[in-house]
Amino acid sequence: MPRNILKTLQSEHDALRDLFAEINDTTDRAKKGRTQLLEAIEQNLLPHAKWEETVFYPAFAERADRDGLKTHAEAVLEHHAVEDVVIPEVHAADPDTPEFAGRVKVFGELIDHHAKEEESTMFKLARKLFSAEELASFDEQYEEWKQSNAASLVIAGEKGKTQLKSAMKSLTG
Ligand SMILES: [Fe+2]
Ligand SMILES: [Fe+2]
């Protein structure tokens, strides 16, 4: 079987779904477990989201028709909503509180919704817009990028932004 970026992204969605199922199953006493699971979620989500935003989505938009562009706009806005609002609010709550549990639940629901839309609409279109060779080469590029310094810097920058936004949310309530 040739490699295929869409399969990789899909399996990363599934890994995220499993992690959210696990964190949603924790109690308010599981402070350490929740902290570790949130870290694992971000470790999985951030490279995935940043690579989609910087490489895959723009390549998709370049070839998409009107329906594809609408799907693309939805996906981009969902990423922004999660990065700018949801993740900072999760971080602004203490992991041993019901606030944290509620916010993490919404976080997981949005990721599941977003992943479903990608799988049922965007990836379906992408199978028509890109050749098997292109999908394989995206997959290679993605794997290389994930191991690069550039990726570590992008992820660190993203985490820094989250800390800043969550600190501001804690101030303003
Ligand atoms: Fe996405
Ligand atoms: Fe995705």
Q: What does the domain layout of the chain look like in residue ranges?
A: 5-172
Please tell me the distance between residue 51's alpha carbon and the centre of ligand 1 in angstroms: 9
Give CA–CA dist 28/8, Å, rounded. 33
Per-residue pLDDT at 173: 62
In percent, the amount of the chain with pLDDT more than 70 equals 99
Mean pLDDT of 156-165: 93
Residue 13, exposed/middle/buried by CB under 10 A (0-12, 13-18, 19+)? buried
State in Å: Cα 72 to ligand 1 middle. 9
User: Any idea which ligand is nearest the CA of 82?
Assistant: 1
| Amino acid, res. 69 | L
Ligand 2 centroid to 83 CA: how many Å? 14
User: Ligand 2 centroid to 29 CA: how many Å?
Assistant: 31
The pLDDT value given to residue 148: 96
Mean pLDDT of 137-147: 97
| Average pLDDT for the chain | 96
The rounded percent of the chain whose pLDDT value lies above 90 is: 95
d(Cα 76, Cα 66) in Å, to the nearest integer? 15
pLDDT tens for each residue of 99-132: 999 999 999 999 999 999 999 999 999 999 999 9
| Least distant ligand from the CA of 75 | 1
pLDDT of the residue at 139: 98
Distance 75 CA to ligand 1 centre (A): 6
For the cut 90, the answer to whether the pLDDT of residue 42 exceeds it is yes
Give the list of residues 6+ apart from residue 18 with CB closer than 8 angstroms, or none. Answer: none
Average pLDDT over residues 139-149: 97
pLDDT at 66 over 80: yes
Cβ proximity of 19 and 37 under 8 Å: yes
In angstroms, what is the span from residue 29 Cα to ligand 1's centroid?
A: 32
The confidence score (pLDDT) of residue 142 equals: 98
Which residues have CB less than 5 Å away from ligand 1 (the ion)? 52
Spatial CB neighbours of 127, under 8 Å, sequence gap ≥ 6: 6, 135
